[in-house]
Amino acid sequence: MNYLGGSRENIRTDLAIEAREMLMGEVKEEIPGVLATTEVIDEITVTRVEVTTPEAEKKMGKKQGCYITLEAPGLRQKNTPLQEKVAQQFTRELQKMVELQDDTTVLVVGLGNWNVTPDALGPRVVKDLLVTRHIMKLEPQTLGEGFRPVAAIAPGVLGITGVETGEIVQGLVEKVKPDLLIAVDALAARSLNRLHTTIQLADTGIHPGSGVGNKRLGITYDTLGIPVIAVGVPTVVDAVTIASDLMDHLLLALIREASPDSPVRAVAQSLAEGDKRAVMEEVITPTGGNLMVTPKDIDTLTEDISRLIAGGLNAALHPAVESDGTGKYLH
């Protein structure tokens, strides 16, 4: 539908699953070069989207590679057993995505800004990680068997450091020399009901412009020379996305209402292009457009999903944690 196409540039999503949905639109046609499978495991919907060609990459606005999404709407309700199941599934998916040797050194980078709740996911995950690299170097005997060397950092964002996050990470990788980097970041979604209930893993790293904050330098195999797994959870929808969605739905309703040869249809379609932008500028942009839509209880929701991901990472990276299952190693 051409006005949907027209509005797509206003819509931002960091989720491959949503990019695909938007492209497929109502026609439900597969996109050439994009493979997708979905299965439901327990109450979790696991979708694997693979972008396999340069053309698909361009269309989707997502780098070639594999994107796995875990969706569990029940996470919005405080539900401990479901949280555990999702953490375990996350652990399994991560372990399938990378091959960990016994001595693989992993650096986890929590992207984002501590002091801005919707952007704090990365730093909060880092806070709950079981960091072992220094212990394994200095006094390995205190840990025992079943651990890999894990380091972690939350480097802050450009606006508070004055340095590109990608540069900070490069400097760190040169010193720590990890075999694998895992970058955790808050994402923007298109759909409100995915907030805090969806986790995306991608083997493509972090590219400029993704995540809630701004990045200009990628955190990828190309910039670092090691594999980079991106782990993300949507915590906001851009106000512009909601606005655009609302207007599309309204125009659709208008068109449905009108008879096929009514001039309403033509007007509605002609409107779509220029006027939508004008309306948004009137309503949303006076404040600088730096607006987000988010649940009122975002503080609690972010805390919960951060712990879930930290737990899942701890189990994925440390066999002793995975087999123990008691959370004994948390903190």
| Site for a second copy contains 327 (CB under 8 A) | yes
Measured CA to CA in angstroms, residue 125 lies from 24, 176, 290, 299, 309 at distances of 34, 20, 25, 14, 7
We find the least distance from the C-beta atom of residue 244 to a second copy, in angstroms, to be 9
Q: Which is nearer to a second copy, 25 or 171 (CB)?
A: 171
Contact (Cβ atoms closer than 8 angstroms) between residue 115 and residue 157: no
Q: Which is nearer to a second copy, 181 or 242 (CB)?
A: 242
Write out the binding residues for a second copy, residues 19-78 only, by CB under 8 A: 76, 78
Which among 2-10, 48-56, 90-98, 293-301 is the span making contact with a second copy, rule CB under 8 A? Answer: 293-301
Question: Considering only CA atoms, which of 169, 174, 131 is closest in space to residue 152?
Answer: 131
Three-state secondary structure call for residue 147 = coil
We find the least distance from the C-beta atom of residue 274 to a second copy, in angstroms, to be 9
Which helix (H) or strand (E) segment is 65 a member of? strand 65-71
Which helix (H) or strand (E) segment is 167 a member of? helix 165-176
Which helix (H) or strand (E) segment is 228 a member of? strand 228-238
The span from the first CA to the last CA of the chain, in angstroms, equals 50
Q: Which of 9, 28, 37, 80 binds a second copy (CB under 8 A)?
A: 80
Number of residues that bind a second copy (CB under 8 A): 97
Q: Which is nearer to a second copy, 2 or 287 (CB)?
A: 287
| Site for a second copy contains 8 (CB under 8 A) | no
Measured CA to CA in angstroms, residue 294 lies from 283, 308, 313 at distances of 18, 20, 26
The single-letter DSSP state of residue 62 is S
| Site for a second copy contains 226 (CB under 8 A) | no
The number of angstroms, rounded, from the C-alpha of 92 to the middle of its chain's C-alpha atoms is 18
Write out the binding residues for a second copy, residues 294-323 only, by CB under 8 A: 294-300, 304
Question: Considering only CA atoms, which of 80, 149, 160, 150 is closest in space to residue 115?
Answer: 160
Write out the binding residues for a second copy, residues 247-276 only, by CB under 8 A: 247, 249-251, 253-254, 257-258, 262-264, 267-268, 270-271, 275-276
Write out the binding residues for a second copy, residues 138-167 only, by CB under 8 A: 149-156, 158-164, 167
The single-letter DSSP state of residue 27 is T
Write out the binding residues for a second copy, residues 175-194 only, by CB under 8 A: 175-176, 191-193
Contact (Cβ atoms closer than 8 angstroms) between residue 43 and residue 71: no
**Strand 106-110's sheet: what is its strand order?**
34-41, 44-51, 65-71, 198-202, 228-238, 180-189, 106-110, 150-153
| Site for a second copy contains 17 (CB under 8 A) | no
Q: Which is nearer to a second copy, 39 or 282 (CB)?
A: 282
Q: Which is nearer to a second copy, 40 or 330 (CB)?
A: 330
We find the least distance from the C-beta atom of residue 64 to a second copy, in angstroms, to be 28
Q: Which of 34, 60, 219, 280 binds a second copy (CB under 8 A)?
A: 280
Q: Which is nearer to a second copy, 92 or 127 (CB)?
A: 127
We find the least distance from the C-beta atom of residue 78 to a second copy, in angstroms, to be 5
Q: Which of 134, 209, 222, 273 binds a second copy (CB under 8 A)?
A: 134
We find the least distance from the C-beta atom of residue 172 to a second copy, in angstroms, to be 5
The number of angstroms, rounded, from the C-alpha of 230 to the middle of its chain's C-alpha atoms is 7
Binding string, 203-222, against a second copy, x = CB under 8 A? ---------x----------
Q: 201 forms bridges with which residues in the sheet? A: 68, 231
